[in-house]
């Protein structure tokens, strides 16, 4: 992966949000917004995508959400979608980003949607991989992948092997070769610093009824075998959004950008050039 420049921005609430950046400073900005889960970070979620976007001339930004990566991880608070959105938006403003394409996976997709609704002048296009926050919160917490993630994270038995198993839940069994020792160790190092509040006190609204307000072009990608965000939700975008295209991958789980990296990069870059 291309060399990253790391910046830390103090935002409202006295939280620090870390943003990694690479690519030409004068290129069009793309912001990769990672999902939830033990050990998640911008770098680990999008390692297979950064170089393709840099090679295409894009300025790539990889923020770590509050509670994740190297950013602040406060305890005793609710991790609301608005908190995620406001803190990362403020950090991007401090980074000098005034317009961007938002590329979000899972929770990151929900943040991309909220940011677009809050700041429509900021978002140019959206690329969403199995985005969350388009159904009631309770609908997600009965999904098998999320149920396993919440119950296993932070317990006395949480170790490197458990971290590896949790990553495996994100992927279709055919894609487990993507679970490298480097990925497991990188995410485990972050997970050890995360409070359990990051997951158990996450509060996300249902943005489904507001999807029709988003006029920016949207590209939705989903794995048919996703155990976290049901692939059927792609229909919500097709039914409600004025400018949307969608693609579903067979034998693919929750991490389209990892499991189908070459296709994800090619299709997404074609969408951005349109």
Q: If 0-12 CB within 10 Å is exposed, 13-18 middle and 19+ buried, where does residue 82 land?
A: middle
Contacts of 14 (CB under 8 A, 6+ apart): none
**Tokens at 143, concatenated:** 């999904």
**Beta strands at 5-11 and 15-22: parallel, antiparallel or unpaired:** antiparallel
Rounded to whole angstroms, how far apart are CA atoms 224 and 170? 12
Other residues' Cβ atoms within 10 Å of the Cβ of residue 112:
30
Among candidate residues 9, 34, 172, 254, the one labeled active-site is 254
- Does the active-site annotation cover 254? yes
R_g of the chain, CA atoms, integer Å: 17
Q: SS3 for 173?
A: helix
H or E element at residue 15: strand 15-22
H or E element at residue 161: helix 160-170
**Tokens at 137, concatenated:** 């919160």
Question: Per residue in 135-147, is it b (16+ CB within 10 Å) or e — as a string?
Answer: beeebbeebebbe
Question: Which residues participate in catalysis according to the annotation?
Answer: 254
């Amino acid at each position: 992966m291309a060399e990253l420049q790391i910046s830390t921005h103090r935002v409202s609430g006295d939280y620090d949000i870390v943003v990694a950046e690479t690519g030409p400073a004068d290129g069009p900005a793309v912001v990769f917004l990672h999902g939830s889960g033990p050990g998640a970070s911008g770098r680990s979620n999008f390692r297979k995508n950064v170089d393709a976007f840099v090679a295409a001339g894009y300025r790539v930004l990889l923020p770590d959400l509050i509670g994740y990566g190297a950013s602040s991880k406060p305890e005793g608070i609710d991790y609301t979608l608005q908190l995620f959105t406001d803190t990362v938006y403020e950090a991007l403003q401090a980074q000098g980003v005034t317009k961007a394409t938002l590329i979000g996976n899972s929770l990151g997709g929900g943040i991309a949607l909220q940011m677009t609704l809050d700041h429509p002048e900021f978002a140019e296009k959206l690329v969403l991989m199995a985005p969350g926050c388009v159904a009631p919160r309770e609908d997600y917490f009965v999904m098998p992948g999320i149920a396993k993630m919440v119950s296993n994270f932070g317990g006395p038995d949480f170790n490197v092997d458990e971290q590896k198993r949790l990553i495996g839940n994100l992927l279709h069994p055919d894609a487990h070769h993507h679970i490298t020792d480097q990925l497991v160790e990188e995410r485990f190092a972050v997970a050890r610093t995360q409070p359990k509040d990051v997951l158990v006190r996450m509060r996300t609204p249902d943005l489904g009824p507001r999807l029709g307000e988003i006029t920016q072009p949207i590209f939705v990608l989903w794995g048919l075998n996703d155990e976290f965000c049901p692939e059927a939700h792609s229909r919500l975008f097709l039914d409600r959004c004025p400018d949307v295209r969608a693609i579903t991958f067979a034998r693919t789980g929750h991490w389209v950008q990892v499991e189908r990296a070459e296709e994800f990069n090619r299709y997404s870059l074609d969408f951005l050039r349109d």
